Amino acid sequence: MGLFIPDDPGYDESARMTGFYRYKQLLSFNTANYMKANLLTAAGALPLAAGIAYAVLSTSVLVLIPASCIGGAIFGPFLAAMFDTLYRGYRDAPGRWRDNWPKAFRQNFKDSLLPGALTGLILGFFIFMGFLLYWASGNPSLATILWYLTAALLFLSVSSLFWPQLILFRQPLSVTVRNMVLFAAKYLWKVLGIGALLLLWISIYVFFAPWTLILVPFLGFWYILFLTQLIIYEDLNRELAIEAKFEEEEKKKNEEA
């Protein structure tokens, strides 16, 4: 896939590339799988979106809390399967998407319900507060806006480190939190950078709605998650030994067979 440069002499799809060539290589091999996973993820997000929309239109926190939790719990397994699809591409895992996606959905179903519910609840409160600020009779102060954006940035940054560990490892929550803290401390600006990219992406969809909603089933989730996770993948792989873990598991399976 020669993006804008069809005859790029430095690009070789037969070998694992690095840098921007790796970006092109992954898109060349996996875009169809990412788009199919995105369509299912968008479908899984519909109950959450409908519940939050109803809560906002009725301006009711009593509706927002259960609607966000239930919708988020439904959304969680779909989001986990989206991350699994991305990470299988990053590590060049074998297998067909139509086999891997259902497997990832089943394997992560129980573990992703509570994180999904919590994610839905936090997203619901951010959206609800955003509309309250928009509808307020007076303009919100600069401090209020900065607090809102900072909280959203931190939430998105933390989520970017949590969900990959959920689908890659079976480990106690305390280990996941410790890994997140240590990784964020070592790669602080990179972690905040991907959080800022996610925040910018969401803001574009919000500011240009409803027209941008047309793109959600095709582009809404997969591309920005693909890009932000790719930015930190090599660092995560180095710190958490992702590929070494799966190679060891594959070796054990072969020995048992």
pLDDT at 251: 79
Q: Which two tokens stand for residue 164?
A: 């990959």
The mean pLDDT of the chain is 91
* pLDDT over threshold 80, residue 138: no
Helix (H) or strand (E) holding 186: helix 173-186
CA distance 3 to 122: 37
Q: What pLDDT score does 3 carry?
A: 46
pLDDT digits (tens, 9 = 90+) for 141-185: 889 899 999 999 999 999 999 999 999 999 999 999 999 999 999
CA–CA separation, 5 vs 16, rounded Å?
Answer: 19
What is the per-residue pLDDT for 1?
45
Q: Give the range among 12-16, 65-69, 117-121 with minimum mean pLDDT.
A: 12-16
Measured CA to CA, the distance from residue 198 to residue 202 in angstroms comes to: 6
Q: What is the pLDDT of residue 7?
A: 54
Q: What is the pLDDT of residues 227-253, one digit of tens each?
A: 999 999 999 999 999 999 988 877 777
Secondary element (H or E) of residue 31: helix 19-58
Residue type, 246: F
The pLDDT value recorded for residue 139 is 81
In percent, the amount of the chain with pLDDT more than 90 equals 74
pLDDT, tens digit, for every residue of 8-29? 666 677 788 888 999 999 999 9
Q: Region 69-88: what's the mean pLDDT?
A: 97
pLDDT of 9 reads 67
What angle, rounded to 10 degrees, do the helices at 222-240 and 61-90 form? 60
Q: What is the pLDDT of residues 91-118, one digit of tens each?
A: 999 899 999 999 999 999 999 999 999 9
Q: Tell if the pTM clears 0.85, that is, is over it.
A: yes
Name the percent of the chain lying above pLDDT 70: 94
**Higher pLDDT among residues 112 and 213, named by residue:** 112
| Contact in structure between 22 and 16 (CB atoms under 8 Å) | yes
Instruction: Tell whether the model's pLDDT for residue 186 goes beyond 60.
Output: yes
